[in-house]
Amino acid sequence: MEAIPSKKVKDALPTNAEIGRDYCNQLFKIEEGLKDLTPEERFYKRLDLEKPVLEAFWSWLYNLTVLNGSALGKAVTYAKNQKPYMENYLLDGKCSISNNAAENAIRPFTVGRKNWLFADTPKGAGA
């Protein structure tokens, strides 16, 4: 998202960053339609519907020429390095495409840990 220009010419072709985002949006849209299926049904539907989108994304990504230090270059390098992990959700219909649930579950602890640093005295803890 950080590689998408904030100001864009009206009716211009999508930037490479927008194309990459659109691939992700496609996957999440498909996933939304699969939420009410059983894990086994979701597994097979993902292979039918999402795997081709992922293959198109990787093909597009590996043929993309970017500047290494740019925001898009960093995003491309990150995605290439994370490829095996990004496709793990295809292996099991019980897995989620996103780790948002896990992130939200641990957020109180991470925020608390930061706040607890100031509780080194009883008076500080009370504050």
What single-letter amino acid sits at 100? N
**Tokens representing 103?**
């992130």
**pLDDT tens digits for range 46-84:** 999 999 999 999 999 999 999 989 999 999 999 999 999
* Per-residue confidence (pLDDT) for residue 127, from 0 to 100: 66
* Per-residue confidence (pLDDT) for residue 115, from 0 to 100: 67
Provide the whole-model pTM. Answer: 0.78
- Alpha helical stretches, state H, 1-121: 16-33, 39-45, 51-62, 71-86, 100-116
